[in-house]
Amino acid sequence: MPSTPRKPTTFLIQAFDLSAWPVVLFGEGNTVRYLNAAAEKTLGISRDELLEQTARYHGLGQLPKALQQVSDLCPASNVWLGEVATRDITLASGVDAAETSWRGVFTPITDAPDTESIALVRNVVVMLAPPDKFPHWGPLQPQEEIHATLQALRHEYRGRYSVSHLVGISTAMIRVRRLVDLASQSRVPVLVIGEQGTGREQVARTICYASNPGHAGPVITIEGQLMDAEIMQTTIRAFANRCQDDEDAGHASLVLLNADKLDLGAQTELLHLLDLIGVDLRILSTSEESLLELARRGQFREDLAFRISTLEIELPPLCDRPEDIPYIAQAVVEELNIPSDRQLQSISAEAIDRLQQQEWPGNIDQLNEMLTAAHQTASGFTLDVTDFPSVVSRAPHKKIEAKEPESIDLDAALEAYEREILVRTLKAAKGNKTQAANMLSISRARLHRRIEQWGLE
Least confident of 28-37, 213-222, 333-342, 366-375: 213-222
Mean pLDDT of 388-402: 63
Q: Which CATH class is domain 8-141?
A: alpha beta
pLDDT of 72 strictly over 80: yes
CA distances from 54 to 57, 74, 260, 343, 427 (A): 10, 9, 46, 11, 54
112 SS3 class: coil
pLDDT of 232 strictly over 70: yes
Q: Where in the chain is the domain with CATH 3.40.50.300?
A: 171-315
Mean pLDDT for the chain overall: 83
Which among 138-142, 189-193, 214-218, 417-421 has the top mean pLDDT?
189-193
Name the DSSP class of 224. Answer: G
**What is the architecture, at CATH level 2, of domain 318-393?**
Orthogonal Bundle (1.10)
Look up the pTM and report it. 0.79
Q: Where in the chain is the domain with CATH 3.30.450.20?
A: 8-141
Residue 402's pLDDT band (cuts 50, 70, 90): very low
pLDDT for residue 212: 63
Sheet holding 190-193, edge to edge: 219-223, 253-257, 282-287, 190-193, 311-314
Mean pLDDT of 365-377: 93
Of 215, 182, 21, the closest CA to residue 100 belongs to 21
pLDDT of 423 strictly over 90: no
Compare 184 and 34 and report the one with higher pLDDT: 34
Work out the percent of the chain whose per-residue pLDDT is above 90: 40
Compare 28 and 425 and report the one with higher pLDDT: 28
pLDDT for residue 319: 94
Question: Residue 94 class from Cβ within 10 Å (0-12 exposed, 13-18 middle, 19+ buried)?
Answer: exposed
Q: Where in the chain is the domain with CATH 1.10.8.60?
A: 318-393
Which among 126-135, 261-270, 437-446 has the top mean pLDDT?
261-270
pLDDT for residue 275: 84
Q: Which CATH superfamily groups domain 171-315?
A: P-loop containing nucleotide triphosphate hydrolases (3.40.50.300)
CA torsion 250-251-256-260 (nearest 10°) is 70
Which among 55-64, 290-299, 335-344, 399-408 has the top mean pLDDT?
290-299
Least confident of 89-93, 293-297, 299-303: 89-93
CB burial readout 146-175, b (16+ within 10 A) else e: bbbbbbebbbebeebbbbbbbbbebbebeb
pLDDT for residue 353: 92
pLDDT for residue 362: 95
